[in-house]
């Protein structure tokens, strides 16, 4: 189960109606069906989190259907594994837009409704890479570190009516991690577990439950926090490390790209 689905189902089990948003219907229709099966309402809307008019439509459709917005979970994001000198200007901008700017854009559109109604919660899904380094993850780490700062800043500016927190994830057993990184190479998963202090990979279902807790009255005195959900990582858990840059190779990369 992916993070978005786990969060949607956890909130639905807590009694919340859920709006699912993704670029293609196949990514959200099944989640919306599972949400509806729990006895609450579900709305599936297609769009791109980096496109303003799509976000305008998302917010308008949500307000029209439900009359209010109580929770916003900014879960969009991902990475491209690439070394610093091999990361293009365009790739860096894309990862920042996807992971950080999208959360800014949607939060800015949703926050006025929350302030007006006198309450609301925004949760940003961040990463351990926002505060620990990992070769090949520079652009992603910068984006997630920016998302963490955005979280703290919004918590300050939107208080006291709106709470804003982030959950910084370590390695979570999502379908993509299982398929791409573990099933293709069993030693990858084993090493990842060994490098995590709690000696396990995180459970996506429990990520959803943690987000639901942050949205609940039990967390009503928590805001501006970056909650670590990473098994105790003090260093990244990747089983490999990119090689050092050597003097004779740094300009060859530029020649290969032209």
pLDDT digits (tens, 9 = 90+) for 89-138: 999 999 999 999 999 999 999 999 999 999 999 999 999 999 998 889 99
List, by residue number, the catalytic residues: 140
- Taking the model in full, what pTM does it have? 0.92
- The residue with tokens 């963490």 is 148
Tell me the two tokens of residue 40: 């609450």
In degrees to the nearest 10, what's the CA dihedral of 212, 217, 218, 224? 80
More confident residue, 244 or 220: 220
Q: Provide the mean pLDDT of the chain.
A: 92
End-to-end CA distance of the chain: 41
For 139-169, the pLDDT digits (tens) are 999 999 999 999 999 999 999 999 999 999 9
Domains and CATH numbers, the chain: 71-257 (3.40.50.720)
pLDDT of res. 190: 86
- Inform me whether the pLDDT recorded for 254 exceeds 60: no
Residue 54 C-alpha from the chain's centroid: 19
């Amino acid at each position: 189960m992916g993070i978005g689905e786990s969060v949607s189902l956890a909130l639905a089990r807590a009694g919340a109606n859920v709006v699912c948003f993704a670029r293609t219907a196949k990514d959200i229709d099944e989640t919306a069906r599972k949400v509806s099966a729990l006895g609450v309402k579900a709305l599936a809307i297609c769009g791109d989190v980096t496109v303003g008019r799509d976000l305008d439509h998302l917010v308008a459709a949500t307000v029209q259907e439900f009359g209010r917005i109580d929770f916003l979970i900014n879960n969009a994001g991902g990475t491209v594994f690439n070394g610093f000198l091999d990361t293009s200007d365009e790739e860096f901008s894309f990862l920042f837009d996807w992971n950080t700017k999208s959360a800014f854009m949607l939060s800015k559109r949703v926050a006025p409704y929350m302030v007006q109604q006198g309450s609301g919660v925004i949760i940003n899904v961040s990463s351990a890479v926002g505060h620990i380094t990992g070769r090949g993850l520079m652009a992603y780490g910068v984006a997630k570190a920016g998302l963490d700062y955005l979280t703290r800043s919004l918590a300050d500016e939107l208080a006291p009516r709106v709470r804003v927190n982030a959950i910084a994830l370590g390695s979570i057993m999502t379908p993509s991690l299982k398929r791409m990184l573990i099933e293709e190479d069993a030693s990858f998963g084993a090493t990842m577990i060994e490098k995590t202090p709690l000696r396990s990979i995180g459970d996506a279902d429990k990520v959803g439950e943690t987000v639901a807790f942050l949205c609940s009255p039990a967390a009503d005195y928590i805001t501006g926090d970056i909650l670590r959900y990473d098994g105790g990582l003090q260093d990244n858990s990747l089983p490999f490390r990119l090689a050092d840059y050597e003097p004779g190779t740094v300009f060859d990369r530029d020649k290969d790209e032209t």
